[in-house]
Structure 1
Amino acid sequence: MKKALVMALIGTLALASCNKTNTPEVSGTNKSVTFKMMLPADAIYKASAGTATYVDLTSKDRATTLTASGLKPNTSYLAHYHIMGTASTDACKSAGDVLNGTIGTAMTSDANGALTLRGLQNTAALTGAAYINIHEAATPSVVPLCAPL
């Protein structure tokens, strides 16, 4: 009986140590930029707003958190870092190429049109990033929010 109790205690401690969360170390400070509306004349997106916050970790990854509101309710969205394009001197209107895929995975806004996207990407692969945009997953040309970096 004592042996079984000791084994249960050891097993519990072993499992607890496996679930231990190590906080990643950062190599810089959090940076935060405000999204600007890209479709102010659109009846649905005229109140869209949000913030992009990112920090580079010692693991050589960038942790990015995007929060947005005023989006279409229950709609799937994607976000990307982009390089500066040539279509404009305004980074958000420059049509630059995507850098290193999506930030996290597609996420669906809630019933109020609020959304949080989180992702980790290799910091070196984001060299030259000029802006972050959020767009509808089903219609990539619909870009309600952009944050120049």
Structure 2
Amino acid sequence: MKKAALMVLIGTLALASCNSKKAPEVTGTSKTAAFKAMLPNDATYKSSAGSAKYIDLNNGDRATTLTATGLKPSTSYLAHYHKMGTASSDACTSNGAVVGGTIGEAMMSDASGALTLKGLQNTAALSGATYINIHEAASLATVPLCAPL
């Protein structure tokens, strides 16, 4: 009987400790930006679309979730925040520098060409970001989607 009571107590404490870590709190509302197709004349990418959703956390990080459809099936993609470049007045075609590194890790689209990328980045490192784009991981010059911020 004492062993059973002790096991119940240990189990209860173990479960309570699992719940001791709280999710990070946010310091604002989430923002969403729509992706626009950057290769409308490409048969594969002409119907690509999606959205970028991001929110700043109180620990100094930005949580970003990118969702996309109309990409090549079973293909690896990655994404970046960028500063405004000088090649154009349109942020998405301005060829700006990457800020904050990649958003998460390169991910493979599914068999239907759908993709979800998630990442945490330091908010200060993203200062001046004006757009997010998604690249083919094997060909960084292939940018099917861009979301002006």
TM-score scaled by structure 2?
0.94
Rounded to whole Å, the distance in 2 between the matches of 1:18 and 1:79 is: 36
**Structure 1 unaligned spans of 5+:** none
Aligned-residue identity in percent: 63
Rounded to whole Å, the distance in 2 between the matches of 1:11 and 1:139 is: 53
RMSD (Å) for aligned C-alpha atoms = 1.1
After superposition, give the CA deviation of every residue in 1:59-108 in whole Å (9 maximum; x if it has no partner): 11101000000000011100000011111111011111111111011111
Superposition misfits of 4+ residues, deviation over 4 angstroms? none
Number of residue equivalences: 148
Q: 1:143 is paired with a residue of what secondary structure? A: coil
Rounded to whole Å, the distance in 2 between the matches of 1:77 and 1:19 is: 34
What is the Cα deviation at residue 23 of structure 1?
2.5
What is the Cα deviation at residue 25 of structure 1?
1.0
Rounded to whole Å, the distance in 2 between the matches of 1:30 and 1:101 is: 21
TM-score scaled by structure 1?
0.94
Q: 2:11 is paired with a residue of what secondary structure? A: helix
What is the Cα deviation at residue 19 of structure 1?
2.7
What is the Cα deviation at residue 11 of structure 1?
2.8
The aligned amino acid for 2:13 is A
**Structure 2 unaligned spans of 5+:** none
